[in-house]
């Protein structure tokens, strides 16, 4: 059936979903790539001239989702709400990330999911490894839904909102980039293009080798340095703007007190003034905690190799940061990693 497969990407206009759709649209074994998202980005709509169709819909709307699923062979489920600044009602997060998933996908479809390591328990977009229209009956029409989970730690690259925020914050402080992580903290950062590529490969091999991939969890990785992640962020920002320099470490207790003070202000000032969102304790605890691993499982199971080296990933990110900040001069090149 090569050339006849139909793929659906939920959340296909999101940070990772958009890159997945772009890569899927280049695969000659796929007839159509469907995007199901509550928003539509211009970049995705430009791909509709190829084999991409976009449907605007809410993942909580079962009838709209089932309509998008008609004739689909493979689902890549990346739709989720992630919020660490207390700006999204918890009920909305639960409804999107947890509440609707048992009926998300008919049970005969291969279905890789995205899962971030930082996601608090109960808010993951892949809480179930076996999904069906009826959770009590995972087998429908003689077919079994086969799923695998793609787990990413911190993802960076073009359109990474946290990088743009840090860049603008550093520029507002005369180029000084302070950091919260302790000196010994380690974190696996992965370039968004490599995360997307792992999804594409996993989806394909879940069709070809379902007994090997079904039920497996794969951690995203590439050759981005993992030690002292604040240094990695500094390299990304300083590659876009050499004037950005590393500042000092902000102690945990000081930031914790600032968060509590901000909570008090938010509680007493509205409706006269509503302060901008700030860090939450959950995000602070995530930042100061190491999330590090070593694996080659994706390489062994489905031949994954990163599409982009650390040097290429850094250059692409720097070029985007410059353009996003209104300074479109060429980013500097690198002689080494």
Task: State how far the Cα of 261 lies from the Cα of 255, in Å rounded to an integer.
Answer: 10
Task: State how far the Cα of 286 lies from the Cα of 117, in Å rounded to an integer.
Answer: 10
Among 208, 187, 199, smallest CA distance to 293 is for 187
Buried b (16+ CB within 10 A) or exposed e, 180-205: bbeeebebbbbbbbbbbbbbbbbbbb
Task: State how far the Cα of 116 lies from the Cα of 102, in Å rounded to an integer.
Answer: 19
Asked if 51 contacts 27 with a C-beta cutoff of 8 angstroms, the reply is no
How many helices (H) and strands (E) in the chain? 12, 13
User: What are the tokens at 170?
Assistant: 């550093």
Q: Return the DSSP state at 59.
A: T
SS3 assignment, position 317: helix
Owner of token pair 């379902």:
210
The dihedral through the CA atoms of 67, 68, 69, 71 has a sign that is positive
- Among the listed residues 7, 29, 84, 156, the single catalytic one is 156
Owner of token pair 């976009």:
54
User: Is 156 tagged catalytic?
Assistant: yes
Among 120, 125, 35, smallest CA distance to 79 is for 125
Positions annotated as catalytic residues are 156
């Amino acid at each position: 059936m090569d050339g006849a497969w139909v793929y659906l990407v939920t959340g296909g206009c999101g940070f990772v979903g958009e890159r997945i759709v772009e890569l899927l649209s280049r695969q000659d074994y796929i007839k159509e790539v469907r995007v199901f998202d509550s928003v539509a980005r211009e970049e995705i709509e430009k791909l509709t001239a190829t084999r991409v169709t976009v449907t605007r819909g809410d993942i909580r709307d079962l009838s709209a989702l089932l309509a998008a699923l008609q004739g689909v062979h493979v689902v890549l489920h990346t739709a989720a709400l992630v919020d660490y600044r207390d700006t999204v009602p918890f009920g909305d997060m639960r409804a999107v990330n947890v509440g609707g998933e048992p009926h998300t996908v008919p049970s005969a479809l291969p279905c890789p999911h995205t899962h971030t390591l930082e996601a608090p328990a109960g808010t993951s977009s892949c809480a179930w490894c076996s999904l069906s229209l009826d959770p009590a009956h995972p087998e429908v029409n003689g077919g079994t839904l086969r799923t695998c989970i793609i787990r990413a730690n911190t993802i960076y690259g073009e359109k990474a909102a946290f990088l743009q925020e840090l860049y603008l914050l550093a520029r507002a402080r005369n180029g000084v980039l302070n950091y919260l992580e302790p000196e010994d903290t380690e974190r696996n950062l992965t370039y968004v293009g490599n995360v997307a590529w792992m999804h594409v490969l996993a989806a394909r091999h879940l069709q070809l080798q379902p007994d090997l991939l079904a039920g497996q969890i794969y951690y995203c990785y590439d050759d981005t340095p993992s030690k002292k992640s604040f240094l990695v962020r500094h390299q990304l920002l300083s590659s876009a703007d050499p004037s950005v320099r590393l500042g000092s470490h902000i102690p945990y207790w000081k930031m914790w007190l600032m968060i509590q003070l901000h909570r008090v202000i938010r509680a007493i000032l509205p409706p006269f003034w509503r302060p901008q969102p700030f860090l939450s304790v959950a995000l602070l605890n995530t930042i100061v905690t190491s999330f590090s691993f070593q694996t080659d499982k994706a390489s062994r199971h489905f031949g994954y190799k990163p599409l982009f080296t650390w040097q290429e990933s850094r250059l692409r990110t720097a070029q985007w940061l410059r353009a996003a900040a209104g300074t479109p001069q060429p980013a500097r090149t690198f002689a080494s990693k």
